[in-house]
Amino acid sequence: MTTAAPTQTTSKDYAQLTALLREASTIGSIGGLLGWDQETYMPSGGARARAEQASVLARIHHDRLTDPRVGELLAACESDTALNAGGSETAANLREIRRDYDQATKVPGDLVAELARAGSEAQDIWKQARAKSDFAMFAPALTTMLELSRRKAECLGIPEGGELYDALLDQYEPDTKAAEIEAVFNPLRERLSAFIADVTENGVPPRDDFMSRNIPVGQQHTFGQAVLEALGFDFTAGRLDVTTHPFCSGMAPGDTRLTTRYAEDNFADALTSTMHEGGHGLYEQGLPKSGPHAGTPLAGSVSLGIHESQSRLWENFVGRSAPFWKWALPLANKHFGSTLSDVSLDQMTAAMNTCTPSLIRVESDEPTYNLHVMIRFGLERALVRGDLSIKDLPGAWNEQYKNLLGVDVPDDRRGCLQDVHWSFGLIGYFPTYSLGNLYAAQLWETINEQIPDLDDQMARGEFAQLLSWLRTNIHQHGRRYTAGELCERATGKPLSADPLMRHLERRVKPAYGM
């Protein structure tokens, strides 16, 4: 009598396990398509049916993720020492599969379905409330989403030494606690506030009146597409559409959807939004979604902080730079006619690097952006704790904006209704935006050290070497390493706020003659 070698048996188990995960991933991608459609082309009359569709599909997806067979195969694979060799891709994949499976099995299918339905309904209500600038109209839906999110957090469990909010934050930035975020944000807030005060009190604001000149939406769209193509976004595997709140959905191999928004008197907002979502899209197109890891954690992004680093890097570190505009301004003039023909490179670069506290997060400049994020982090954390009630949210929001940014919020549309996240129950998401800025700045310093002629390349409209660096050092790894490990592997250092502050000093102060 003979027995098969353990590696043969467990390799078969691993193949069956990944096959089940690929099937679950495919179902999840259908949910992504439903969400993208709701945000872009779905008629408003379809909102109720879409909520039911989202709910049913979420339950099916959850059932596949929590199938006992997945647990059995996972346990069999974990017992195989060959599959768990230290540092191997398979070992990393099993580690992350275990994490995902344990989290999924803690949350009842009924709650998953209820969250999907309520989120779809709340998103449609948010659109209407935002258009009418009426928070009271949205408050009941937000109350429901907060209650459901708390229930989910309770199911996931409070990490040792943590708080309920941490269970939600962990979904977006794994193994990170609110107290750790706070420890980063507090000193960064002080440094940013001092920097902003220095610039606004001692600098001379650059001319930027030309930024509000009217440019037809069609011209802005073709310009944005041309920029994305130059950056390396593959339009045979993606597309660019319009929505209320821009987002990127990398829903399947060969299918990455970008969205942006346009205003005829604010072409820069459309461009930065397009480049931001393009950065997300380039990351999605660079992940190993095809091949042996398809549908498994190794084909996914490691954290939203890292994901955001890619969008912020292209939007800000590239898109607001003088080398980029040396190439992009002539291209803009080809698309916009004579609208910007009298604007010099120095004027455009300075106008893209202002420091002006404002109301809208997605339209804010680099120095003030993180303050917007910190406000949201504090408010949603207080909501989860129960320290802040839904009815008091607008007042707390407005007070924070006055205290931290010095601006008066005139209405709900430009206040606590400006972001879509809470309607979907994406509580714990906001801190990752600032983490992304920190990661991006640190990556950028290393990139410029390793590609010393990068400015010259960008000035010629050449971005292939930059994208190749990101593919090699960030994209291809998926979830093989933690976010912190990935940062140290790429830069040789743990995450620090110093590179971001050095970047702002070099970029913003010259625009103010400092």
What number of other Cβ atoms are within 10 A of residue 328's Cβ?
Answer: 24
Q: Is 481 left (phi over 0), alpha (psi -120 to 50) or beta?
A: beta
Tokens of 291: 């091949």
Residues 6+ away with beta carbon under 8 Å from 335:
219, 220, 222, 223, 226
Tokens of 279: 């950065």
Locate the DSSP E strands across 117-198: none
Single out the residue of 103, 96, 138 nearest to residue 111, CA to CA.
103
Please state, in angstroms and as integers, the Cα–Cα distance from residue 474 to each residue in 103, 273, 338, 503, following that order. 25, 22, 40, 21
Residues 6+ away with beta carbon under 8 Å from 261:
242, 243, 244, 245, 246, 269, 270, 273
Catalytic residue flag (residue 366): no
- Determine contact, residues 221/227, Cβ cutoff 8 Å: no
Residues 6+ away with beta carbon under 8 Å from 93:
18, 293, 296, 297, 298, 480
Single out the residue of 80, 82, 73 nearest to residue 101, CA to CA.
73
Catalytic choice (39, 277, 284, 315): 277
Single out the residue of 54, 9, 48 nearest to residue 32, CA to CA.
54
- Determine contact, residues 203/509, Cβ cutoff 8 Å: yes
Q: What is the 3-state secondary structure (H, E, C) of 48-62?
A: HHHHHHHHHHHHHHH
Task: Give DSSP secondary structure letters for 364-418.
Answer: --HHHHHHHHHHHHHHHHHHHHTSS-GGGHHHHHHHHIIIII-----SSTTTTTS
CA dist., res. 421 & res. 123, Å (int) = 9
What number of other Cβ atoms are within 10 A of residue 236's Cβ?
Answer: 6
CA dist., res. 47 & res. 480, Å (int) = 38
Provide φ and ψ at 256, rounded to 5°: -120, 115
**Across the beta sheet with 238-242, what order do the strands follow?**
238-242, 255-260, 248-252
CA dist., res. 323 & res. 448, Å (int) = 13
Q: Give the residue numbers marked as catalytic.
A: 277
